[in-house]
Structure 1
Amino acid sequence: MKTPAPALLPILRSSFQGELLAWLYLHPGEEASLTELAGRFGVSSATASREASRLIEGGLVLERRRGTLRLLRADTEGRLAPALTELLALTYGPIVVLGGLLAEVDGIEEAYIYGSWAARYSGRRGGVPNDVDVLVVGGPDADELYEAARAAERVLGREVNVHRVSPERWLAPGDDPFLTSVRERPMVRLEAQHEHGRNV
């Protein structure tokens, strides 16, 4: 069955293609194994291999082999690199950028993107989101959270709104209309490896 084009960037073949390109182009100069990327985005090895091969053949991604390991990195010297990097930051960038920045903020137990960006990511059609809404569960320092959001804005080129709630309130929202609304709509959990091994 043919997979529909992703709502975030319909010119791509699949959401994984966007996620793969975004991770590579927003980590310029870094290599990642195909196995690592498949696990990160929850696709099979066969799917990851097929999509990576298309991008390599298209000149967007470079490959280096180490034994049986396929190591990928963005072709940052290509003519399309600047424009493609900007496009990916505007579309698939929030997962990559926010996941990395929030992983460095202590006190976060969970973090989710919600609102219009999450709706597009989940496949709901609509216009390009003007901002990114983030729900943080835990007790992080407010100033550190603010700085992480501003750093994300500089990379993503759009406003990042962060809403912080306590774990107790998140688990038992009661009649809170805001949390009820968030829970009823698409959410994208941010997964990022903390330097001490904790996931956000």
Structure 2
Amino acid sequence: MQNVQSRSQLLPLLRSPLLGELLAWIYLHPEESASVTELARRFGVSQSTVSREADRLTEAGLIRAERRGNLRLLRADLTGPLARPLTELLALTYGPSAVLADLLPAIPGVQESYIYGSWAARYGGEPGPPPHDVDVLVVGDADEDDLDEAARHAESRLGREVNIHRVSVASWRSADDPFLTSVRSRPIYAIVEPGDPQF
């Protein structure tokens, strides 16, 4: 479950990490509408929490909401003067979670994947300077060329270096590798977890 009260360390202008993730998902998928239900499930919070944030963002003119039956659909309002700079700012801060969630689940052989390093530390609430790159751990037997292509695509959307490190399931489960032990001991952000549906 998201901690919706803690102050964002990735973008300290924001009240909470949830607000950053919501905005990043909506603005980095400008051609799509996302339902409150879908966003609540994606970010592990209640629908009422997402609805409250959506009310504030709609009032501020940052997103548009529409009703379709019982669904409340949200999408970025790209007509305002803040749309382009806000999209760029969100790509640099919360963008990795939104962009990698599009790319990695679709690659065959990705059983788990996590962002680690400075981005995950900031997301987890550790203060510090903005991350210069994004470090990603992929567990499974995904093809290295597919992972490299995903990294290059993510870099083009995020405007920063993306480093993907692949390990086997056995290595990830083992306690013998000092690097993986270090990764597990620090904050990580799950992109694909065991049991997630593969696309």
What SS does the corresponding residue of 2:55 show, helix, strand or coil? Answer: helix
User: Which consecutive segments of 4 or more residues in structure 1 shift more than 4 A?
Assistant: none
TM-score (norm 1): 0.93
Whether contact under 8 Å (2:36, 2:72) holds in the other structure is yes
With 127-136 and 74-83 compared, the bigger mean Cα shift is at 74-83
**TM-score, normalised on structure 2?**
0.93
- In structure 2, the residue matched to 1:142 is 144
Instruction: Find the counterpart in structure 2 of residue 180 from structure 1.
Output: 181
Contact (CA 8 Å) 2:6, 2:17: kept in 1 or not?
A: no
The CA RMSD measured in Å over matched residues stands at 1.6
Show the counterpart of 1:120: 122
Find the aligned partners of 2:26 and 2:172 in 1 and give their Cα distance: 33
Once the 2 structures are TM-superposed, how far is the Cα of residue 199 of structure 1 from its aligned partner?
A: 4.1
Question: Could you tell me whether the CA contact under 8 Å between 2:111 and 2:192 is conserved in 1?
Answer: no
1:26-59 Cα shifts (integer Å, max 9, x gaps): 0012101111101110111221111110000000
Calculate percent identity across the aligned residue pairs.
61
Q: What secondary structure sits across from 2:106 in the alignment? A: coil
Say whether residues 1:166 and 2:168 are aligned partners.
Answer: yes
Partner of 1:111: 113
User: 5+ residue gaps in structure 2?
Assistant: none
Where does 1:183-198 land on structure 2 (aligned, <5 Å)?
183-191=184-192, 198=197
Q: What is the rounded CA distance, in whole Å, between the counterparts of 1:143 and 1:170 in structure 2?
A: 21
Q: Which residue of 2 aligns with 1:100?
A: 102
Q: Please name the residue that 2:56 is paired with.
A: 54
Gap regions ≥5 residues in structure 1: none
Mark the CA change 1:30 to 1:125 in structure 2 (over 3 Å): closer, same or farther.
Answer: same
CA distance in 1, matches of 2:89, 2:32: 19
**Counterpart code for 1:161:** N
